[in-house]
Amino acid sequence: MSATYTEATVSKQPTSHIFKQSQVQIWLCYFCFCPELTMSNSPNIVLSHLDLARLEKLIERSDADLSALEGELARADVVDAAQVPANVITMNSTARFVDEASGTEHQYTLVYPQDADIGAGKVSILAPVGSALLGLTPGQAIDWPGPGGRQLRLRVLEVIQQPLA
C-alpha cells in the first residue's frame, strides 16, 4: 500500500517558547506544543494488540487532548505482534527520514512519553509528529506546516530497527 499524508492544518500557533538548540529541535518542538495539528488522507496503519492496549491506557490516564492519537488508533488494523510487517514504524522503532525541503536526513525513535528525549532522537508518541509517524513505511511522506510558515515534508527512508521484527 502506498499512501502519504497529503495535508495538515494548524488552527493556531503554539504559545510555548521554543529553544533553538538545532533546526531539528525547532520544528520538532513546534509539533510537540501544537496539539491542534490534524492530518487528512491518512494511510491505513497496522498495530500490535500490545501497542494498542498500552496506548489506550496512556490515553485513559491523560488529561490532554489526544484526539489525533485516538484517531490513528481507531483506524488501525490490529494484529498479533508476529503479523506486523518488519518495515512498519511501531512503538520503539527507529527510522531514518529526509526533510525533502532541505535535504537533511534525520533518525528518530518513536517512544512512550516517559522515554522522550529530543536531543537523543527519541520522539514521544504524544507529540503530533509522533502520532503521525506511527504506522508509516519507507517511501511514505508526511506534509505539514512548520514554524514561520515553512512547509515541511519528511519522507521515510528506512526503518532501521523495529522491536516486533
Cα(first)–Cα(last) distance of the chain, in Å?
19
Q: Which residues pair with 85 in a beta bridge?
A: none
Q: How far apart are CA 47 and CA 115, in angstroms?
A: 20
Q: How far apart are CA 142 and CA 95, in angstroms?
A: 14
120-162 pLDDT, tens per residue? 999 999 886 788 788 888 998 876 555 577 777 878 999 999 9
78-125 pLDDT, tens per residue? 999 999 999 999 999 999 988 888 898 989 999 999 999 999 999 999
* Grid cell at residue 97: 527520514
- What stretch of H or E contains 161? strand 151-161
Scanning the structure block, which residue is given the C-alpha cell 505539514?
A: 144
